[in-house]
């Protein structure tokens, strides 16, 4: 197929070339709704008021570590048409009192009646985690609003130092306050 179109219609990956996104680290994530439609609620006077779809997104975001034991979450915010969050991928997984170092979680059990358990592969990379999150939010949100859709892809930034981490946390915390000046404000 690439010979036919000479790679003309090929979309360049948004990920950092050569970087292994299974690596332990902190990642700043931005995920937008399709056409930046305001699906998740309203932001007024610096306060984000989540509607039912916003609560679905929040519940699914907070559930990520339950389903992906190698992941923890830091600061996040759900805005009317996008989500910002910090995802931490850890190599060490604590299961009860046992610590396991692994990249392959296929032997770990997922909770019963989990929305995540029917997805193809357990978390091995940032893209897998975000794909699972977007899939579950879409499935649950379309029960409320059949038109719900995400923008394809997501934006990531690898957090490399403490100063960057603090700046990003501050940006996330202040996102509702600065909503009218936000690049995603429509």
- Encode pLDDT of 31-61 as tens digits: 999 999 999 999 999 999 999 999 999 999 9
Task: Give the phi and the psi of residue 154 in degrees, each rounded to 5.
Answer: -155, 160
Give CA–CA dist 81/156, Å, rounded: 17
Give CA–CA dist 55/180, Å, rounded: 22
Which comes out higher in pLDDT, residue 4 or 63? 63
Question: For the ranges 98-102, 111-115, 120-124, 179-183, which has the lowest average pLDDT?
Answer: 98-102
Return the residue matching tokens 């202040």: 174
Give CA–CA dist 139/149, Å, rounded: 10
Is-above-0.85 flag for pTM?
no
CATH architecture designation of domain 20-176? 2-Layer Sandwich (3.30)
Domain residue ranges in the chain: 20-176
What angle (nearest 5°) sits at the alpha carbon of residue 5, between those of residues 32 and 20? Answer: 45
Both structure tokens of 74:
């830091």
Which comes out higher in pLDDT, residue 15 or 79? 79
Give CA–CA dist 30/145, Å, rounded: 22
- Closest to 40 measured CA to CA, from 176, 131, 178, 180: 176
Both structure tokens of 58:
């929040």
**Residue 29: how many CB atoms within 10 A of its CB?**
19
Which comes out higher in pLDDT, residue 58 or 100? 58
Strand pairing category for 92-95 and 98-101: antiparallel
- Rounded to an integer, the average pLDDT of 108-115 is 45
- Average pLDDT of the chain is 79
Q: What is the pLDDT of residue 186?
A: 67
DSSP of 25-36, one letter per residue? EEEEEEEEBGGG
Q: Dihedral of the CA atoms 65, 131, 47, 72 (nearest 10)?
A: 20
Give CA–CA dist 33/39, Å, rounded: 8
- Rounded to an integer, the average pLDDT of 99-120 is 42
What angle (nearest 5°) sits at the alpha carbon of residue 142, between those of residues 141 and 146? Answer: 135
């Amino acid at each position: 197929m690439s010979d036919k179109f000479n790679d003309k219609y090929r979309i360049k990956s948004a990920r950092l070339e050569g970087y292994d996104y299974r690596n332990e680290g902190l990642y700043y994530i931005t995920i937008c709704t399709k056409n930046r439609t305001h699906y998740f609620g309203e932001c007024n006077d610096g306060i984000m008021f989540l509607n039912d779809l916003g609560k679905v997104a929040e519940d699914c975001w907070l559930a990520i570590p339950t389903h992906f034991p190698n992941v923890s979450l830091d600061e996040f915010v759900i805005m009317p048409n996008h989500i910002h969050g910090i995802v931490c991928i850890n190599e060490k997984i604590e299961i009860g009192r046992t610590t396991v170092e692994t990249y392959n979680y296929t032997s770990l059990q997922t909770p019963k009646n989990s929305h995540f358990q029917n997805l193809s592969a357990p978390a091995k990379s940032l893209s897998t985690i975000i794909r699972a999150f977007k899939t579950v939010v879409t499935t649950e949100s379309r029960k409320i609003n059949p038109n719900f859709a995400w923008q394809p892809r997501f934006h990531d930034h690898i957090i490399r130092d403490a100063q960057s981490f603090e700046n990003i946390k501050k940006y996330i915390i202040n996102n509702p306050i600065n909503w009218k000046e936000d690049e995603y404000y429509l």
